[in-house]
Amino acid sequence: MKAISELKLPEDVRYTDDHEWAKKNGNVVRIGISDYAQDQLGDIVFVELPEVGSTFDKGEEFGTVESVKAVSELYMPIGGEVTAINEALADEPERVNSDPYDSGWMMEIKASDPAELEALKSKADYLEMLKG
Amino acid sequence: MKTATKRTPLNNWHRSQGANMADFGGYDMPLWYSSVKEEHLAVLTGAGIFDTSHMAAVIVDGSGAAALLQHCFTNDLDACMGPARKPLSPGRCVYGAFLDKKGQPIDDAIVFFMEADSYMVVVNAGMGGAIADHLRRNLGGREAAVTDLTDRLGKMDIQGPAAARILGRVLSDPEAVFAGMPYFSFKGHIDPTSPLADEVRLDDGTPILLSRTGYTGEFGFEIFLAPDKIQRLWERLLEAGQASGIKPCGLAARDSLRAGAVLPLSHQDIGHWPFINHPWPFALPFNADQTGFTKDFIGRAALEQHTDFSFTQAFAGRDLRKITAGEGSRVIDADGQTIGTVLTCATDMGIGRHGGEIFSVASPDKPAGFTARGLCCGFVKVNRKLSVGQHVDIADSRRKITVTIVDDVRPHRTARNPMADMI
């Protein structure tokens, strides 16, 4: 298990209490899970994502991430419509472990309210929460 | 009352390696180091080592030791070896359980016949005291001394097809040790003053008890030795096995390996219900036609009298997706009726389906291009006997998946391979 000081926590993404991240990427917002989350879950063996075109509210469950240990829910950091999912995770779910913020991204959405993104935790706030 | 979590002699090593730790049976144990999947696969293709010092050993000595175990243990020590049902002989061990009067397991165990009037009973984490008490309470005038060695004995397992080749590099006279060592046999002794301790020594002189048993379904050994000697052996095996892909393995890989090998976890797959109608009939003293028992033992009457038992059966899924077992899980038949619960649901990451058949990464006949994506498997407890091949749904609050009742899961396991093929 990584010590908190070893966690990769980029400055340019926003975090949720449930350990998802969201990042503005042009007109869309990319979503994934944090380095802390993947480390806690262990080997990720399956990621269940919604269909492109589905719409979810902030906080709604949009999929599951399955590790050898358990099946965990994924929650929307902000509301919006799914515009793309990371198809590569179907064959290589381990990308979520090895590269949670880049090639291990999960989906892109069109935000229904861009202000929701700003309301998420900054790196500093998220780190504070992890330190408890 | 909350008791402090105990630590095994390897605890500092696990923590220094950054293992993901959790409480198991009252001990702070590693769940995995860097990757459960790699640990699981290492045991199928090379070797893995497991810290199992959380398990407990109870010594039963004396002229009445055999009779006491016959009275308390489910397997028949006078008729448990091989198809001919020969008596257990010194240097052999056997699996079974200790039941209460209701026929419900207190714990499962392996009984080791050390020498005349001397047995070692190996039970699960935290169960040494309970089993020792149970044996003492049922002495009934038999001449036997019961000694609980909880936390006084170190134990580690080396499992996987390369286990003997790796272990041989740190043993004194490996050829002699491995000669005549079938599945469920052992050599050596835990007491360094016993003449039997000379049977197996490490090349530095440390005596060990070496047993051809394990909890993965794969070829390998359980090793008992003094607690202060375990870290050195652990580190030496990691070094000796480097070229064979040895990995330290945590409890998560241990769980997924044993689920694929159709082995029960005590207090989860066997528990507060009668110990019968399960995939481990060899743990009970059945006669040849399975109509009755060959000896008397605590719990026998309860097992014989009841007819309304549940059935524990193994299943395999269609892919790696699993559900959360335990309370809240359901088994649903074709008519939509809930007929039971799920006891274990784990993913064996070394296997997968191809054309309806299950193959392992270690299967010699695996199809070209086969990649093991993993397969969910485990045990259900249902209120009627299901037939092998029958489909049922299993569900938790989130997900429902279709699984098939099976009599085996991971093919081409190596546990029973002849020693000659493995050295």
- Tell me which residues of chain A, numbers 7 to 66, contact chain B at a CB-CB cutoff of 8 Å: 39-40, 42-43, 45-46, 64, 66
> Which residues on chain B are in Cβ contact (under 8 Å) with A2?
18
User: Contact B37/A66, CB-based, under 8 Å?
Assistant: no
Condensed to tens digits (0 to 9), the pLDDT of residues B207-258 reads 999 999 999 999 999 999 999 999 999 999 999 999 999 999 999 999 999 9
Mean pLDDT of chain A: 95
Q: Which sequence spans correspond to the domains of chain B?
A: 11-53+153-258, 54-148+274-306, 310-411
Q: Which residue ranges of chain B lie beneath pLDDT 70?
A: 1-3
Query: What is the distance between the alpha carbons of residues B263 and B344, in angstroms, rounded to a whole number?
Result: 11
Task: Give the pLDDT confidence score for residue A70 in this predicted structure.
Answer: 85
Mutate to test the interface with B, among A35, A43, A95 (most CBs of B within 10 A): A43
Query: What is the distance between the alpha carbons of residues B98 and B105, in angstroms, rounded to a whole number?
Result: 6
Q: B346: nearest CA in chain A?
A: A68
Pick the closest to residue A67 from A40, A89, A88, A86 (CA basis). A40
Q: How far is B364 from chain A (nearest CA, A)?
A: 24
Q: How far is B271 from chain A (nearest CA, A)?
A: 22
Q: Is domain A15-124 classified as CATH 2.40.50.100?
A: yes
| C-alpha distances out from residue B101 to A102, B65, B106, B229, B273, Å | 59, 20, 10, 40, 12
Interchain contact A71–B (C-beta under 8 A): yes
List beta partners, residue B406.
B314
User: Contact A68/B321, CB-based, under 8 Å?
Assistant: no
User: Contact B398/A64, CB-based, under 8 Å?
Assistant: yes
Cβ-based contacts under 8 A for chains A and B: 55
Q: A93: nearest CA in chain B?
A: B373
Collapsing DSSP states into helix, strand and coil, what is residue B61?
strand
Q: How far is A130 from chain B (nearest CA, A)?
A: 16
Nearest CB to B324; choose among A43, A45, A71: A71
Pairing of strands B247-249, B48-51: parallel
Q: Which fold has domain B54-148+274-306?
A: Alpha-Beta Plaits (3.30.70)
Q: How far is B316 from chain A (nearest CA, A)?
A: 16
The Cα diameter of chain A in Å comes to 38
Q: Which residue ranges of chain A lie beneath pLDDT 50?
A: none
User: Contact B37/A68, CB-based, under 8 Å?
Assistant: yes
Query: What is the distance between the alpha carbons of residues A43 and B357, in angstroms, rounded to a whole number?
Result: 25
Query: What is the distance between the alpha carbons of residues B148 and B130, in angstroms, rounded to a whole number?
Result: 9
Q: Which sequence spans correspond to the domains of chain A?
A: 15-124
Q: How far is B19 from chain A (nearest CA, A)?
A: 6
Interchain contact B36–A (C-beta under 8 A): yes
ipTM associated with this complex: 0.82
- Tell me which residues of chain B, numbers 325 to 384, contact chain A at a CB-CB cutoff of 8 Å: 346-347, 349, 374
Are B50 and B39 in contact, with CB atoms under 8 Å apart? Answer: no
User: Contact B19/A1, CB-based, under 8 Å?
Assistant: yes
Domain B310-411, CATH = 2.40.30.110
**Homologous superfamily of B11-53+153-258:** Probable tRNA modification gtpase trme; domain 1 (3.30.1360.120)
Q: B371: nearest CA in chain A?
A: A91
The neighbour count for residue B121, using CB atoms within 10 Å, is: 28
Q: How far is A49 from chain B (nearest CA, A)?
A: 14
Nearest CB to A43; choose among B36, B324, B398: B36
Are A96 and A45 in contact, with CB atoms under 8 Å apart? Answer: no
Nearest CB to A68; choose among B36, B321, B398: B36
Residue B214 identity (one-letter amino acid): G
Residue B208 identity (one-letter amino acid): I
